[in-house]
Structure 1
Amino acid sequence: MTLVQPQFRTVRPHPAHGCAAGPADAGEPQVWEDMTVEVALSVMAAARTGHLVVRNEDGLCTGLVHGVRLTAVRDSSGYTDRIRLRDVADLIGPFAPQAATAA
């Protein structure tokens, strides 16, 4: 198994996507849309969290993905190890920083 080294990028805020790398989500684990479901689950397990911030190839936040939903995809009969997060875009929910959800 190959270990995944997180890469942190500075991104500009994009009003249509509702999030950017800033103080509110700097500690959130992040993955890219082209990452496989299996790798995303591994990152989630390593980070000991139940969700991941998903970013597109431009570094813009596209939403959140939750472990329960990824596990359901992995356990489905049509699953292959080549399915990427962008292939199951309906899994990606809206982004809300932890500070906003705690209030």
Structure 2
Amino acid sequence: MPDLHPETIEGWVLDIACLRKYPRDEYAERARAHTTACSLMGHCAESGYALVGDDGRVALLEPQATPRVMEALRQSDREAGVRLRARREVRDGALETVTVEEV
């Protein structure tokens, strides 16, 4: 089993339902333009979230992070292109998102 360490990840929020529809080389562009309203739709929220870096690299968040991401989206005044920072810590042998904030 790998040795896990706390991490902080940052990127544009994109729900996994929408992420699946886009070609890999468009992830960053699509995430920057992705609307907050879409991310908060029921089927999108149910799919979970990822943070997409400027280079298009995707960091999937675990399902337990969903309420934290949704709260950050609701608090944002941006209509699209919400950039979040997530702090993940080791809990019960796995990484768990403990904080999510807009950057």
TM range (shorter): 0.3 to 0.5
Give the structure with the larger helix fraction: 2
Relative to the length of structure 1, the TM-score reads 0.40
Give the structure with the larger strand fraction: 2
Q: Which has the higher contact order (CA 8 A, sep 6+)?
A: 2
